[in-house]
A and B are shown apart, each in its own frame.
Chain A
Amino acid sequence: MLNTASLSLDQAPPISIPFRFFITAPLFGLAAGLLLLIYGPSLLLTRWSPMTLGLTHLITLGMLAMVMCGALLQMLPVLAGSRVPAVVPVGKTCHLFITAGTGLLVFSFITGGDSANLFGLISLAVGIGLFFFAIAVALLRVKQVTHTVTAMRLALVAFLITLMFGLLLGSGVLGAIGFGHIAPLVDVHLGWGLLGWIGLLLVGISYQVVPMFQVTPEYPMQIRRYLAPAIFLALLIWSVLMLGVIFNWFSAIVPRLWMLLILPGYMLYAVVTLRLQRQRKRRVPDITMQFWRNGMISILLGVAIWIAGNVSEVIANSPQYHLLLGVCLVVGAGLSLVNGMLYKIVPFLSWFHLQNRQLSLMCMTVQVPNMKEFISDKAARLQFNCYFLSLLFLFAAVIKPAWFAHLAGLLFLISNLLLFKNLAMAMSRFRATSQALDEYMIDSKAE
């Protein structure tokens, strides 16, 4: 029998739960911008410098994972029809531990502090571990398993695998037992993080939100059915092949060639998404779509860079190659998609919660702002332009760090300042209207 309870919307968590994740993200973005502004070129010399790793984790954990966790807690009841158990305490605890863990981990990357590293890893293990269990319970309870739910389940497993490898690498256990082959394990960690957790989650969410935001046709059935499981399976095999390299069973070329099988999956996703967006019925200019288009093009660019690195030894051996790839996938694709989504989720949630209250109070004297009154197009567009400029300058900074690194940091800082301002304004409008409704309720009770 179909699940009727999931049609009801009152299972959505209080708005403060997702909001706390969303508003934290630009703060980590500010820290990343500040780091790059101050230390500039030294952050863009090699992917292996601790400072660069710190910068990377500010964005991947502090921004991408942060927003994704908040969004998942919020959207699961709507997209999958399943409630997250004890969502308020779970949401608060996860947010606290992931925020503290990210801060401590990055601090230890930058300063080399051992205790910060230890506490950072413990916090992240607690925060992400709890998140994994809460979401896993919700996803296992889903009665009607859609393709989005399947992709979410796989993404969640990928998140856990990413965490495991991260803990293994960060704890120094491997070094202590004299294990020298750390580099391939770092690749496995980031492969699961980017192509597994973030990538699969975005793919799964796209099936629902691209047609919904833009009024486009659905993704083709074959893609919805096979893409996410195929990518997940390919990642699993790739990880085994990477282990094979570590134990010298065969040469490093084998997993590299295998990766060329995973990439077309994301290429297909990007091309299909761009095509769907071209077929959209809703033609008015839309900032979220601009962010998404930028993200899809970045995926394609990333694939192109990857292929170039596999064709030419010169490119593969240059330190810029991996940095360029990182900027492309993390800032160009991941961050763009997440940033764009915030401009739909935050205004909509604000409107939705207030409107529900207004209806239940039958209050016609307090007006609920519409979505664009929470975040105006003008403010969102300005931030997009800043973000886009910072992306261009980040690319330039990878090629010529001495010239562009500081400037890229400054632009990234401004972009996140604007994002923070836009989100904070929406939240303050929410609070003001919510208070007006409170007053109405008190007044009407007094009468």
Chain B
Amino acid sequence: MTTITETMASDHRHCDEFFAKAEELIAEGSWEQGRDAFKAFHDATENHFTMEEGILFPNFEQRTGQTMGPTQMMRMEHTQMRQLMADMEAAVTYEDEERYLGLSETLMMVMQQHNMKEEQMLYPMTDQVFAGDAEATLREMKML
């Protein structure tokens, strides 16, 4: 059986790869490819957020009755990361390497901490709460 934890954690790794690639290209000054790599990272991350905010979190909240708990905290961190990604996008537009690398360093720390919390706490909780419906929920998320 595929768990939510495994699937979503592997999606995190996927985003990490895009992130590292974009950062590396931009650090080399390859803006042409760097721009595409950043877009790939941005889209993958936004897609991940949408799956969580659109399906996973609301379903979890419905079943547990907790709306101000961990999911709320995760949403706030999504806001933080969106803000950083918007700033990074501007840095890409202006080809400002120093600014991009400062922001990407910051985003990396937030993102890794956030992922750690989701993978070690929130996802296992959702697997526990959804139990038999976990796979159906995953299918629903993939349709987004």
**Which residues of A pack against B, CB within 8 Å?**
2-4, 6-9, 78, 81, 144, 146, 208, 211-213, 215, 281-285, 344, 347-348, 351-352, 355, 359, 370-373, 377
Contacts and interface: CB of A to CB of B under 8 A. Distances in A.
A348 B109 contact: yes
- If over half of A's interface residues share one DSSP class (helix, strand or loop), that class is named, otherwise mixed; here it is helix
Given A2-B121, A212-B116, A281-B17, 7 more contacts: A3-B121, A7-B117, A9-B73, A212-B113, A283-B20, A371-B106, A372-B105
A370 B105 contact: yes
Contact of B69 (A7, A211, A283, A359): A7
A372 B113 contact: no
B99 interface: yes
Given A78-B113, A146-B120, A372-B101, A359 B106 contact: no
B109 A371 contact: yes
Contacts of B27: 284-285
Contacts, number: 84
Contacts of A283: 20, 23-24
25 contacts: A4-B69, A4-B70, A7-B69, A7-B70, A7-B74, A7-B122, A9-B73, A144-B121, A212-B112, A213-B109, A213-B112, A281-B17, A282-B19, A284-B24, A344-B109, A347-B105, A355-B80, A370-B87, A370-B99, A370-B105, A370-B106, A371-B105, A371-B106, A372-B106, A377-B101
A212 B122 CA distance: 18
Contacts of B99: 370
Interface string B82-94: 0100010000000
Contact of A208 (B79, B101, B116, B128): B116
B108 interface: yes
Contacts of A78: 113
B129 to A, nearest CB: 10
B73 A8 contact: yes
B109 A281 contact: no
B76 interface: yes
B16 to A, nearest CB: 5
B103 interface: yes
Contacts of B51: none
B8 interface: no
B124 interface: yes
B125 interface: yes
A371 B84 CA distance: 12
B66 interface: yes
Contacts of A371: 102, 105-106, 109
A284 B112 CA distance: 16
B16 A281 contact: yes
A285 B28 CA distance: 11
B17 A373 contact: no
Interface in B6-32: 16-17, 19-20, 23-24, 27
A7 B121 contact: yes
A4 B66 contact: yes
A347 B106 CA distance: 9
User: 3 tightest A-B contacts by CB?
Assistant: A372-B102, A370-B102, A7-B70
B66 to A, nearest CB: 7
Interface string B50-73: 000000000000000010011001
A4 B102 CA distance: 32
B106 to A, nearest CB: 4
A355 B110 CA distance: 11
Contacts of B109: 212-213, 344, 348, 371
Nearest to A211: B112
B76 A359 contact: yes
B112 A215 contact: yes
A377 B79 CA distance: 27
A45 to B, nearest CB: 44
Contacts of B66: 4
A336 B110 CA distance: 24
A282 B79 CA distance: 24
B136 to A, nearest CB: 22
A319 to B, nearest CB: 44
Contacts of B69: 4, 7
B20 to A, nearest CB: 4
Contact of B101 (A212, A284, A352): A284
A253 B17 CA distance: 51
Nearest to A212: B112
A348 B105 CA distance: 9
Contacts of B16: 215, 281
Nearest to B64: A4
B23 A284 contact: yes
Contacts of A344: 109
A71 to B, nearest CB: 15
Contacts of B125: 2, 4
Contacts of B80: 355, 359
A282 B23 contact: yes
